[in-house]
Structure 1
């Protein structure tokens, strides 16, 4: 992306001669530099850009970064790449500034919050003040960009001062900033020319001979609107009846502009008028481009002449090579271009941009010309660059503008259009796109040249289609189909196509997992992670590692799962934030399972800080589920319910087997709250019965049903189902399931009054578990019935040590559960306010808990409390 940036967008515009110096506004702008935000908000044509450029030039602010925005900058990756590059190229920017943020932007599915966090780290190290100007911010309205800017503004270090020029207020907390004195505003009322400024401007622009009364009348009619004054001054040149013109002049925004432009155009030579109308289709232009579009050869002479005539030409660089028209002027010109001429002008522009390898502009003009076939060919060529730079928003926008029949003819574009349908949950639509792509590929006779762009994506498309078919099968719960399509993808993958190889192996591993064969899943999914690493897909590699940890947990190896995640976080160069967030979510779940709720909360907080709404939907789903289970373990079922609502909203099929469905999780929490009727409704909705055969994909639902039967005092109804589930889990090596089923069998026996057999069953289950200490919550979540059995095993069973580990130490200090939570967080690096935020309590409430802990442990400091707790076995 960096190589294709337009440097002129990041340069302070050159102030043209004849502009009026508005030094009265230097004071407010200078005051703004003392705070985080200066906002210039006014309609078009009020001179915001000129004012800021003039202020920077005249006040000698050399440490300034400038970014002129346009509609194409609505792509989040493009926007943040430009912003970071503008800052790093500003005078005084240290070496290496922005490297981390730019590296994150090249990753698949870059996290906006992670990019902003990396940028903030670099900004915090700045020694000199920097002013960052974002000009025309109103053209960018993507939610990810707005949220990222709000985050940047919230944590803005003192060295950076943000100046925003826009036509409408940005979605920042302006009221709060205004109340805190953190905002300086310059609005239309201040930007309007004063009578003296109007007189100074008209004396230069309209020439001498303008009577003072005429100046006053024009100032009143325009109300100091600079664009209208500029247009009026052009219309006044050489006019005999100046007074009459001013008397007829009306001050109604767009109608005034239309009227004045018509007056300006009417007085231009036909050659100049024709040049303006032909080149108005261009967002930016240079002389050779103008010649290509107009079919003339006078661009090099005409552009300087237009600039000298103040015909709304804005230079985009110091060399006067690239220009654009003032936006209002361009809008009015475009409205006057005959409709029949537009396709030809856009085709010519597309030709020129294509010859100069400016593919994005070429695509835009081809689409505007209605030449959809050509646009499709250009898009096919652009796919590799778009995917590398992660301009997914731009690409999806292009695809949405292509007719359906064109997409169906292009296998590459059809497949990528289909993927966007799958992300939206339309599996049938995605499958139909894959069918179209395969038919198009099959229609090309062997040995003949295909009618599409010869790109790597075209060559790897058969394997890609097979991978996507495996994803659809998985989303439908078709385990056999998932495996079959994944194997076909492996057969079709070309040597070195690590993405296809890794994706196919991953899906094959997930199919084994869904079948309950954890050993095969671990082997195959491990190969997938290796392939992704070989292909340099770091984010995919490490997010897959989090899934691998889930498989180790299913194999009954929670400590191994934890080591896998911790090793991935310590990889050379560190884990990219998006991947690190997934790993921290996995670690949060593992620590919660092990009974360490404090560390679980820490990891979840870290994941929240690293990730944002721009993350993968499935990642958000997993984070919400982890947070809900943690909230339930901490005794806050209401918070868990809200988080599960969010998880259901964000869940989409096709990413991972749904082995822990949200309704079943919700039912288990309701059972712990002694609300079996509500839980029964959810279980009934899952369609499971005690007579079902064992099915690994439905095991979580079945074990939820067992808990419901026990709550309803119907243990006999659960016995047969538990035996079938146990046989299936043992034969497949799912040690965690074996442990859970054994625990539930013991509870069923105890509910029937057979305590000796219940103790023996639980003792046997604990003895066979490879890593009992990592499964604390599995037992504690069942409450008193299980803890009573565990104490019985501790006294009389062969697994007494395992039972003791699950029960935890019996401290001689009567600390409450909440106080133990606080104590665990005190045994870390978090500050008091950070601990309060982690626990969702006020700082005063935290002080109360801390005081009680100190009193009970007979200490006076945090360090002494932790040491005493360790001595007494509390920690």
Structure 2
């Protein structure tokens, strides 16, 4: 490493100490004079302010990996002059701290800072020295700040216990700031509970976009904001990584292209981290770091699985000593991306024959513990596509491959073309079919091949066969539900029967299968005319779709429930379901989404029931285009019926639903005829619709109708107003606030052109709104 790089990335704030132990009688030279503020330092006032607030309490710790900018932050803070008293600074010896060197150095630093203390020449360097020093500091009227840089003694060591005792017995007259690569063994949990601990960790030390831009400008680099942001994200704000990138970018004609390629395999990054971190590890720790580097997230069990029981025993020590591992909660950790890149590169060089095995062991463990996406990724990294396919089918994760869940699986087939899959096992063929499911014609042949291979499996009732058949049925449902409802219904019925034969636990973790099955069955029952059977299926499907965060299935269930309520003549409920179906967050419509046309028809019918045939016409105008893309005879039949009802409403003709239904096509099942007659009559007999018919019939125009249509909630309030209910009683009955009811009343008065309750009721009766 060249001299300039060593200067810029040196973690030392203070002059380095000799590592050779000195005699106990000689006090080491502290050399703690305030260091000069280097020109390359990037000011970080947000962090310096946190140190200034933290030093008001007994303990502040700054923990981060090598090159995170800890020592630069210490230098910056020392120059702020915001310490509450004299500052004694000591550069420690890391893990090799000896009491006979450490405590004389502490005393020398305190003397050098101007702290008035007696001589301790006759006191042995042990617990007695710590006790006397504590007593002397506790007598002070102003606090003393002790800065310990690179303080990393082992837990329970004499040095660690001595500092704990010193903090405990100085009556808050001692304020300690620790800079370290790992958590100092100072019983931090006690100070957390008492809220006397200030912590700055790797995430806090990460550079912001503004700080990254300042560092780049030091190297004469004036780059676009998006380039700065890309570099900060690629390095995760790691100060040393940004500095190394900046040094490499000088002279680059296209810095954005350089940053796109910049990663942990950069020579400067590799050299720096190998020398500063990896080479300092024991053989066991090094093996653990290398083998776990392939994992996106790691815990103790997974580390033991991939590295072996011997190396796994060092995991707790690894977590404690390496701040490149960031806690994620519940025992999980994530390695800094650039450090992981370096480790993976070294793993390829040092243990090339073990990499595939590490990935396979990780895949097996992750699949067993329900982390299918990660397991598939590791199987593919081991270049074992067949195993990845087995995992998907075995874990019933085909829905994740087809986009039925918020979590998506990696591209399993990769360079394979589905037609080129040649195997005696059905799982790869099923995965190929899942990839093709959007193309119903192409997927048919692949599904036939998969069915043939499933039939050839031994023991037709085995768990593997059942899972393969269920996967086959799910793919058929997804491919056919918008094209061939009968085929989709058969697949859904088979899926339901297969689910009953499989253990409940794995199915509970795959609500997308339940959601798709219930949606297809409910949609089929509705179009078969059995509204009573369709309602619970669609309602349960809606709940399951919410659990799996599938916006398309959720919307599909809401649209079908809206259609169901419209067929029953419950247009207010139909309108509410239709509104829910359009509320975000929902995915955009696709050419294969049959719900779009159905939703438009429902909205048209609801508009007609509200006495707005023009709205119905506008909605129906969009239905034709939607049905042209994806035909749906049932929806088309309902759309034709609503169009005829709109003609009746617009022309003021006598309503004769029975006559209308006598001319409909084969789309209408016999069991649905009577409910549909009532629904047609209801859509022409709602209060708003009656008012519209009355105006058209007597030729009075629109002068006697409300200027604006009453909303559903305003109709509710008006109806209770006619029952002589008070404002408070209306509010209680409708579960509204009194102020909300008053707002609705004002709106009703305005729309009916009245100013009193009695006049509003009288006017509503004239317009047949009550």
- TM-score bracket, shorter-length normalisation: 0.3 to 0.5
Q: Could you tell me the TM-score, scaled by structure 2's length?
A: 0.46
Q: Could you tell me the TM-score, scaled by structure 1's length?
A: 0.42
Q: Which has the higher helix share?
A: 1
